């Protein structure tokens, strides 16, 4: 497999680890970018970007990174809080009056960002077309009750996060939520990251396909069993209502959707650049970054059926949990995306890491491919001796 791009010779082991991914014939295409102290030390890509494996992955190839999108939206909302346009601990209904019904009067933006609001799924069963009907979904969310007492438990909101956080951004900035994120976060850093991709850019997008025969770990098996056998469970409803959430990634309607939970399209360079921007203070001041990366919830996740440790719009490292560690320092923070794409930062090592793939693996949190790359990076830095 031809590996393209650049790597500092100090990080040859990372390059070799990236190349080793393609020893598996199912691996389609991928890209990896790593910055250390603001310097790009790895920027690699390889493989195919189309369904038939005829088109080579390019330097400017984009791919749907799913939940890697969430921290971008969180940062935009935290910027609004820093600007005095949002109080993280005030009722959401101050910005979105219709939301303050059905017992949700006390839900705050902090609850929504930390997945403690009790809003991971929509009570009303919606038709497939609702996925692209912003008004219909936000009305349903505003009118429903929480699944639990806000703040008492936590359960990841895989897709509703995009409508709740997105509606707050839409009302605060008076523009589409994807446009708000791009204006606040992406354009200032020159990131090639888009939430609501323009049709003229579709030819740059990699086709996403699932790997066959990959069974995943115990957490993946629990989720699969719940979704196959319990159609009304919270886990199932979170991922399948409206229908089509898990099967729309290659559709043009999804690429153009401003869904700030999961429809972000970018590359490894944009993920690494985002986290480098956080570490440098270009996006948030140190106080707000500390708030974002402070532990807000930890333990059994009602939606994902595994242990999660959550900040505000990001997942915090769990060094002792095999499927929930980024593989470097214990203060690392970031977010995996469904299927394997991952972005994170390690503030102690001043590392910003971005990995994207169009070969979907079955893992619930961290994909072993990204973890292997992070371990190779740690070896190059001799983290164990630090």
384 pLDDT more than 80? no
**37-41, 105-109, 178-182, 360-364, range with the lowest pLDDT:** 360-364
40 pLDDT more than 90? yes
Are 184 and 78 contacting, i.e. CB atoms less than 8 angstroms apart? no
pLDDT recorded at residue 292:
98
- Using only C-alpha atoms, what is the Rg of the chain? 19
Hey, is 185 helix, strand or coil?
A: helix
Place of tokens 């933006």: 109
Token pair for 54: 């005829």
Domains with residue ranges and CATH for the chain? 4-62+194-250+293-385 (3.40.710.10)
227 pLDDT more than 90? no
Token pair for 175: 């523009």
pLDDT recorded at residue 299:
96
Q: What are the pLDDT digits (tens) for 370-383?
A: 999 999 999 999 87
What average pLDDT does range 249-267 have in this prediction?
A: 97
1 pLDDT more than 60? yes
Q: What is the largest CA-CA distance in the chain?
A: 59
CB atoms inside a 10 Å sphere around CB 48? 20
Are 303 and 235 contacting, i.e. CB atoms less than 8 angstroms apart? yes
Q: How far is residue 372 from each of residues 104, 130, 153, measured CA to CA in Å?
A: 42, 38, 32
What average pLDDT does range 329-356 have in this prediction?
A: 97
Q: How far is residue 6 from each of residues 45, 71, 274, 373, measured CA to CA in Å?
A: 9, 27, 19, 16
Quick one: what percent of the chain has pLDDT higher than 90? 91
Q: What are the pLDDT digits (tens) for 81-96?
A: 999 999 999 999 999 9
pLDDT recorded at residue 168:
98
pLDDT recorded at residue 386:
46
255 pLDDT more than 70? yes
**How would residue 111 be classed by pLDDT, with cut points 50, 70 and 90?**
very high
CA torsion 112-114-116-122 (nearest 10°) is 50
Q: Which residues contact 358 (CB under 8 A, 6 or more apart)?
A: 28, 29, 30, 47, 49, 63, 206, 207, 208, 209
Phi/psi at 345 (5° precision): -130, 145
Q: Which ranges of the chain would DSSP assign to H, the alpha helix?
A: 12-21, 70-82, 109-113, 134-143, 160-173, 177-181, 187-189, 218-229, 234-240, 252-255, 268-280, 286-292, 368-381
Are 172 and 130 contacting, i.e. CB atoms less than 8 angstroms apart? no
Say how far apart CA 337 and CA 71 lie, in whole Å: 11
344 pLDDT more than 70? yes
Are 120 and 113 contacting, i.e. CB atoms less than 8 angstroms apart? no
């Amino acid at each position: 497999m031809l590996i393209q791009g650049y790597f500092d010779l100090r990080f040859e082991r990372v390059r070799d680890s990236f190349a080793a991914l393609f020893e598996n014939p199912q691996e389609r295409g991928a890209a990896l970018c790593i910055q250390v102290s603001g310097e790009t030390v790895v920027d690699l890509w390889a493989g195919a970007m189309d369904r038939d494996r005829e088109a080579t992955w390019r330097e400017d190839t984009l791919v749907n990174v799913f939940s890697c999108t969430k921290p971008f939206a969180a940062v935009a909302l935290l910027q609004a809080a820093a600007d005095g346009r949002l109080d993280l601990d005030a009722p959401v209904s101050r910005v979105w009056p219709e939301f303050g019904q059905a017992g949700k009067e006390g839900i705050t933006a902090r609850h929504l960002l930390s997945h403690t609001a009790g809003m991971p799924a929509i009570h009303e069963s919606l038709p497939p077309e609702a996925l692209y009907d912003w008004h219909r979904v936000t009305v349903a969310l505003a009118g429903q009750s929480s699944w639990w007492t806000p703040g008492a438990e936590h359960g990841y909101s895989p897709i509703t996060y995009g409508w709740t956080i997105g509606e707050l951004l839409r009302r605060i900035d008076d523009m589409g939520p994807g446009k708000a994120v791009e204006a606040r976060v992406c354009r200032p850093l020159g990131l090639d990251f888009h939430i609501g991709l323009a049709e003229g850019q579709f030819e740059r997008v990699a086709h996403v396909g699932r790997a066959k025969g990959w069974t995943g770990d115990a957490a993946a098996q629990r989720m699969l069993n719940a979704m196959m056998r319990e159609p009304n469970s919270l886990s199932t409803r979170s991922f399948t209502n409206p229908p089509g959430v898990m099967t729309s990634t290659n559709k043009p309607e999804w690429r153009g959707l401003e869904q700030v939970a999961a429809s972000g399209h970018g590359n490894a360079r944009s993920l690494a650049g985002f986290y480098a921007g956080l570490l440098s203070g270009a996006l948030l001041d140190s106080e707000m970054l500390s708030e974002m990366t402070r532990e807000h919830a930890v333990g059994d996740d009602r939606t994902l059926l595994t242990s999660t440790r959550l900040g505000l719009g990001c997942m915090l490292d769990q060094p002792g949990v095999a499927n929930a560690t980024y593989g470097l320092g214990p203060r690392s923070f970031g977010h995996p995306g469904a299927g394997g794409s991952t972005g994170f930062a390690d503030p102690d090592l001043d590392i910003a890491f971005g990995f994207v793939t169009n070969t979907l693996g079955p893992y619930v949190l961290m994909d072993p491919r990204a973890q292997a790359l992070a371990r190779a990076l740690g070896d190059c830095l001799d983290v164990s001796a630090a």
